[in-house]
Copies of this chain bind each other. A is one copy, B any other.
Amino acid sequence: MPVKTEKIAQASRCLKALAHPTRLSILCLLKEGEHNVQQIETAIGTTQSNISTHLGVLRDKEILITRKEANQVFYRVRDPRMFELLVILQEIYCKD
């Protein structure tokens, strides 16, 4: 039987959120555990505004969740299975 339209749409939205180099880099970084925005900014190497925008996308799609400590915000991946997905992607696409 065909997969439900709404499930397809939901999966599509998730993939769209993942499918940006900056956001994918953020995900890879967060494999090592939670990071605050500054750390992410430094590691990825772009502007505060740009990182914040991309973090917003990943947060909206509930791929990332946040924890606030004083005036810093720490981000982490909500569901660890997301990493399994990235591993498979790497296996398929990065043979070398």
Contact = CB atoms under 8 A, between A and B. Distances in A.
A93 B61 CA distance: 10
Interface of A is mostly: helix
A29 B15 contact: no
Nearest to A78: B92
Contacts of A90: 7, 11
B14 A92 contact: yes
Given A2-B43, A81-B91, A94-B7, A21 B12 contact: yes
A85 interface: yes
Interface in A57-88: 79, 81-82, 84-86, 88
Contact of A85 (B5, B21, B28, B88): B88
